Amino acid sequence: MMRPKPCFGCDDICLSLGGRQILKNVSLSVQRGELLGLIGPNGAGKTSLFEVLSGRYHSQRGRVYLDERSLDRLDIFRRARLGVARTFQSPVVPDALTVGEVFRAARKSYPPYMSTHDAEWAARLVNLQVPWERLAGSLDTFDRRKLLLACLMMRRPRVLLMDEPASGLINTEISELDLLLRKLVDEYHIAVILIEHRLELLDSIADRVCVLDLGAVIAEGDPLSVFGDPAVRAAYFEGAA
C-alpha cells in the first residue's frame, strides 16, 4: 500500500547559529491524523528544528512545506495563519489577565475573528474546567497548558508542534494528555509533531518516532523498532544514563 502524501514537513534542512552547525540535512514529514514523536539527547537540535518549522528561524538550506506549498518565505505569523500551531516547553500565560480575557485576546488576534462559542468549544475540547474570571497566572501547569492549547484549537490548526507538553505533569495528568492528543489526531485529523523525553508516553501514543543526534536524523520508524535500534540506544539511552 502506498503511503499517503505528507501534509507537512521539511527537506534537507541545514541551520547554523553563531558559526556552529545546529541542524544537518534534516528531513521529516507527518500526515494528517498522524502523531510523530521527536526525540534525542539534550542539544540534539529538536527545539531548533521547531524554530525552523514554525518560522522563527530561517535555515541556510532546505525547505519547509505545508500541503506541497513552500513556507520558506513566510514568517512565523503567516505560517500560523495557514494552520501551523505551536506550544512551548514553558506554558507562559499573561499573568494579569483572566482566563476569559486570554480567550478574548486569542479570538481577536487576527481575522477571521472567533466567537465566544468557539472559545467555549475549545475549552470543552481540552477539558479546561476553571472559572473564566480566574486569573490565568493562578492556574496550575496543566491548566495553563490546556488554556494555551485551547487558544490554538479555536483556529482549527492543520499542524500542531508541541515541545515537551508532559513536562511538569504528574502521572494522572499525563494519562489525560495521552487521551487528548490521540483525540486531536484521530478525530480532528491534525498532524502532530511532539518533542518528548518521556519515552513511555511516545510508546503509547506515537505512530512514528524520529531521532535526532548532533543535529542529524539517525533513526525513524515505529516506536518499538526505533527504541531498540543500537544507534539510538548509544546516542540517547546510554548518553542520558
Q: Which domains does the chain have, with CATH numbers?
A: 1-83+158-241 (3.40.50.300), 93-156 (no CATH)
Residues 127/147, Cβ–Cβ less than 8 Å: no
The string of pLDDT tens digits covering residues 170-222 is 999 999 999 999 999 999 999 999 999 888 788 889 999 999 999 999 999 99
Cα separation, 201 vs 13, in Å, equals: 27
Is 236 a residue whose pLDDT tops 90? no
Q: What is the pLDDT of residue 103?
A: 98
Q: Which of 73-82, 132-141, 199-208 has the lowest mean pLDDT?
A: 199-208
Is 97 a residue whose pLDDT tops 70? yes
Q: What is the pLDDT of residue 235?
A: 76
Residue 81 to residues 78, 129, 157, 220, Cα–Cα distance (Å): 5, 27, 9, 29
The string of pLDDT tens digits covering residues 46-61 is 999 999 999 999 999 9
Strands (E), the chain: 8-17, 20-30, 35-39, 61-66, 69-70, 84-87, 159-163, 191-195, 208-213, 216-221
Q: Which of 55-64, 77-86, 87-96, 195-204 has the lowest mean pLDDT?
A: 195-204
Mean pLDDT, the chain, integer? 93
